[in-house]
A and B are shown apart, each in its own frame.
Chain A
Amino acid sequence: MSFIELKNINKSFGKKNSKVDVLEDLNLSIEKGELVAIMGKSGSGKTTLLNILAGIDTPDSGEYLFDEKPMKIRNAADGVKFRRNNIGIVLQHFALINDFTVSENIEVGLWESGLSIVEKNKRIIEVMEQLQISDLKDKYPGKLSGGEKQRVAIGRAIICRPSLLLADEPTGSLDSSTEENIIKIIQDLNKTNGTTVIVVTHDDEVAKSCMRTIHLEKH
């Protein structure tokens, strides 16, 4: 049995006349510890798929099994709960809180962890060392480069040790040298922590660095 399994997933947007089928009878299996790239043209449903995997959106029909259990996201609160326990998310636009320092941004991922302050601090230090951003801990996002921001975003996503890391165009806003750096970090996380990683990208280089690439066709 796969770690993630999508069976006959359908998703469309709009109403009757303007209805657009984004995902149609999508079947997908991802094993635990895999590093998978999802590629496709604009409008092919990459981000929609990521949103369904993250519990942000729900499919119109079909079955989503996560760690062999059927996902039942009835409302936004269910999605929040699901993400808290299982998912880390990295976005193209970094999504950092500008009035928080680097360490505070990373700590947001632990707010709901129930860990003690000592344990939280220990984990923040570990993650910052792993991502080589220890020297940036008191800086605010406005003072960071794109690559540094993305590393902070990755730090926040992995601090709660999720079993699945979803990255939506993680290198989309970065130059090529920084892009390589971020890809390497994601690969390391996959290998070292055993985290299953799904990267949504339109970049061939990023896709090549993954174990497997899934292509989505535009309908």
Chain B
Amino acid sequence: MSTVIINTYRNMFKSVKRNLTILLNMVICTSVIFILLQNYYYLKDRHDDYFTSGNIASHFEISFADEDDGGLYYSDQLNKTPMYYVGQDLLKTMESDPRIMLYGLTYSNFLPEDYVDGVNMTPYAIEGVNEILIEQYHFSKNTQDAFELKCDSGRFFQEEDFNVDTDDPVPVVLGYNLQEVFKIGDTIHLKNEYYDDRAVVIGFLEKYSSINAWETVNYMDDAIVVPGDFPRDFEELEKNKERKLGLSSDEEFTSITSPCIYVMDETMDLQKYVNSLTAKNGFYTLCVQATDGVEVTETKSISEKNVMLIAVVTAVTGIICLITLGMVLYNRALEDLSTNCIYLLCGIPLWKINTSIILEMLIWAALSCIPACMISQLEYKKLMVSPVLLFAFSAIVALIALIPTLRVMKKVNLDVFVRNRIIV
């Protein structure tokens, strides 16, 4: 055994340059295999049995109305990651697509500004409760038209309402019943434990206005409608001076918020649609929940096209690495022939020499898994691909690359070596 260990050690450390080449090739090979396997897993997993199953989802999903993750408002995993920007692109694309409508539903404590100053308590402060929990709808630019909502008085949102300066109050449209309390031009507070912002009333919905989606009718007579996302006082919004639907961020929280997606055309294949977006934006996982937050689509998290592309890249890179690795090992075997002849003359069996070479390659294979595992851990806080599987793949690569070397070793001719001539 000691012979195998000593010779393995010698092989690993005698030539730094050559061994770095071996390791580099193995790392590249293992990494491309890792990327392929990871994306293959994404392809296999469906939204419902993957992203709602546990701790993985919060790390990289861009989800809409995923209740398991609290709407993703408070995810701290996406801050300025590539995923964040992919999410922005996705939302912009969806928002500008007439077939897709985004809207959100949250709740705010809602109270008139005058009440804050202790003046003119309103009838809406009932039974000693000074704040009213109210349904708060977030509308994108096409939502009002899509649901054919109209105002009883005042006006609905216009283009400029989606780009209000953070110093100005948010324009809001109130439900029909709230006309009893407010009038157009009133300033109110919208707040909960995370935000406190001012809003100005610009209109009131018609009586019995509702959102009719997924066979559920949501009446909005006591609701409030805000343009785009809310709250808006996060650092990112202050910087941009622009309200962005579905995106908000600050030092602690960076996430895609959770508007619902309503597909206008019932025949539209949302899965295909999302796959086309993921294909455009890269191979990140994008999951979409196209219902009211309970049911989920069978949305694939990655485009099949991308996996095919990655498979081709992996195959090409893998073959290049395999050839390079094989050549490095082959040349090393030729250089080491005299050493191996000396071993054989000293009574060291060939199988032990070969075992030490195989052991060395297995060690390189194991080491080559480390960068891929580290990337996985850093990016996803989880080993996306089993290290054992990864090691098995890289070990196979290493062993294939060893075939020419082992063939050379088999041909070692001691008679020729003793005569001080060419050995093979």
Contacts and interface: CB of A to CB of B under 8 A. Distances in A.
B418 A109 contact: no
Contacts of B400: none
A13 to B, nearest CB: 10
A166 to B, nearest CB: 10
Contacts, number: 72
A50 B338 CA distance: 19
* Contact size range, A: 20 to 34
Contact of A57 (B338, B346, B349, B415): B415
B415 A83 contact: no
- Taking each of B10, B14, B347, B417, which has the highest tally of chain A beta carbons within 10 Å of its own beta carbon? B347
Contacts of A149: none
Interface string B383-424: 000000000000000000000000000000011011110000
Contacts of A47: 418-419
Interface stretch (A26-34, A87-95, A128-136, A188-196): A87-95
A84 B418 contact: no
Given A56-B414, A93-B420, A99-B14, A77 B350 contact: yes
Most chain A CB neighbours (cut-off 10 Å) among B3, B338, B418, B419: B418
Nearest to B420: A93
Given A97-B342, A111-B3, A80 B14 contact: no
B339 interface: yes
Interface string B308-348: 00000000000000000000000000000011011111111
Contacts of A160: 346-347
Given A51-B415, A56-B414, A108 B346 contact: yes
Contact of A80 (B2, B339, B347, B418): B347
Contacts of A202: none
B6 interface: yes
Interface residues of B, number: 24
Contacts of B347: 80-81, 83-85, 87, 112, 160
Contacts of B350: 76-77, 80
Contacts of B349: 77, 80-81, 112
A120 B59 CA distance: 56
A151 interface: no
A56 B414 CA distance: 7
A84 B418 CA distance: 17
B346 to A, nearest CB: 5
Contacts of B420: 91-93
A112 B418 contact: no
Nearest to A108: B346
Nearest to B338: A95
Contacts of A81: 347, 349
B85 to A, nearest CB: 51
9 contacts: A56-B418, A76-B344, A83-B346, A85-B347, A92-B420, A95-B338, A95-B341, A111-B3, A111-B6
Q: Which 10 A-B pairs have the closest CB atoms?
A: A84-B347, A111-B3, A83-B347, A56-B414, A93-B420, A99-B14, A80-B349, A97-B339, A89-B345, A95-B342
